[in-house]
Amino acid sequence: MKDQFIVSGGARLEGSVKVDGAKNSVLKLMAAALLAEGTTTLTNCPEILDVPLMKKVLEGLGCTVSITGDTVVIDAPDKPSSYADFDAVRQFRASVCVLGPLTARCGHAKVALPGGDAIGSRPLDMHQSGLEKLGASTRIEHGAVVAQADRLTGASIKLDFPSVGATENILTAAVLADGTTVLDNAAREPEIVDLCDMLCEMGAQIEGAGTSTLTIHGVDKLHPTNHEVVGDRIVAGTWAYAAAMTRGDITVGGIAPRHLHLPLSKLKSAGADVETYDQGFRVRMEGRPAAVHYQTLPFPGFPTDLQPMAIGLSAVAEGTTVITENVFESRFRFVDEMLRLGADAQVDGHHVVIHGIEQLSSTDVWSSDIRAGAGLVLAALCADEKTTVHDIFHIDRGYPDFVHNLNRLGANVERVSGI
């Protein structure tokens, strides 16, 4: 049985919502707990499908993991297993983030090549190259990436692209390496800063978090810690764009607005009234939004994870929008589903041109990834009648209490079981 969402169009969303910890942070923090024997506690964790999936990965490595509400407790053993098998990692991409900690802690790691969202190629070449510069040997063997090193040594490493995943794996390996590692062109995302903060709480010595250059002074040993997960800027951004698309009024808490500076700025340009607070913001849109151009880039650029929401807003905006995707080449699969809803859009390479229309038309649509699924639900709120959104298990991987929050804000969304 596969659940579906039945979304009634025409809703205006109004009210307040608080975001939980970031999906793109909690999974990496759980993996980082492997670096120290003992009990690490994470709070403000989102209640999403990927957290118990990562629990399964860590348990396969010898950890004891418990999840109670928004708290995850991880007891890492003295000698973790170094093999993350296919059954544990195949369902989501973030599982590959155990590669760095296992290489540093065990001297050996074998991680089955991961699965995840269908948004394009995400090879591990930069992960491998970074570990090799730290002194590890790596190879792809029988569907798994294998890394081995008697002892890692600090090095100067420059990434070809500020990859979040490569930054995380190199960072979590370098904290236990001999000497100093300088990582240039590192990812700058808030989730990277959150990982650096937790590692420093564990005894790591890291300079430059939030900049493009990380300097990591290796230490002999780390200790467990208690850490609160940073708020989810992508979920917060989703609610911001939901307010603009439905000409609503939503106050979002639990997030630092600076983590969404560009997406909120784009909403202002589209005609929204945006107020920011210390840990939240308010978005109000009274009339039809104006067309605004977008191009996705690594942080602090416009997030690729909010590209479907930008497309949804552009589909009902007044005027013509050009959106350029610079991160994941297959993310425009979302446009095919928007065409089902009547959007006037045309893809040309890594650009999509959208001519806004007043209202979308309801139909059946299919989610291809987490953000596309959420974007389709928001687009369905702008349609004339009832839209059925299929393959919603993707949405469950990234959005806690999604239907509950939507309905509390004034939507009419029903979760039903299908075949």
Is residue 333 a known part of a binding site?
no
Give burial (CB, 10 Å; 0-12/13-18/19+) of 358: exposed
Peptide bond into 300 cis (omega under 30): yes
Cβ atoms of 84 and 112 within 8 Å: the answer is yes
Is residue 93 marked as binding?
A: yes
- Angle at CA 325, nearest 5°, toward 319 and 329? 135
221 belongs to an annotated ligand binding site = no
Cα(38)–Cα(63) distance, rounded to whole angstroms? 9
Rounded Cα distance between 154 and 133, Å, is 8
* 415 marked as part of a ligand binding site: no
Q: How far apart are CA 290 and CA 287, in angstroms?
A: 9
Q: Cα–Cα distance between 112 and 200 in angstroms, integer?
A: 29
What three-state secondary structure class fits 364?
strand
∠211-222-215 over CA atoms, to 5°? 25
Q: Could you say which of 20, 50, 70, 117 is catalytic? A: 117
Say whether 401 is catalytic.
no
Strands, E assignment, 350-402: 351-355, 364-366, 386-390
Question: Look-up: residue for tokens 């990859």?
Answer: 163
Q: Is the dihedral of CA 35, 41, 43, 48 positive or negative?
A: positive
- In 285-350, beta strands by DSSP E: 294-295, 320-324, 344-348
Q: What is the strand order of the sheet 205-207 is part of?
A: 156-158, 180-184, 213-217, 205-207
**Alpha-carbon span 60 to 5, nearest angstrom:** 33
Distances (CA, A) of 30 to 45, 211, 230, 288: 10, 23, 13, 42
**Any known ligand binding at 20?**
no
Alpha helices per DSSP H over 248-323: 261-269, 307-315
Q: Is 380 exposed, middle or buried (0-12, 13-18, 19+ CB in 10 A)?
A: buried
Q: Which residues are part of the catalytic machinery?
A: 117
Binding residues: 23-24, 93, 305, 327
Binding residues for UDP-N-acetyl-alpha-D-glucosamine: 93, 305, 327
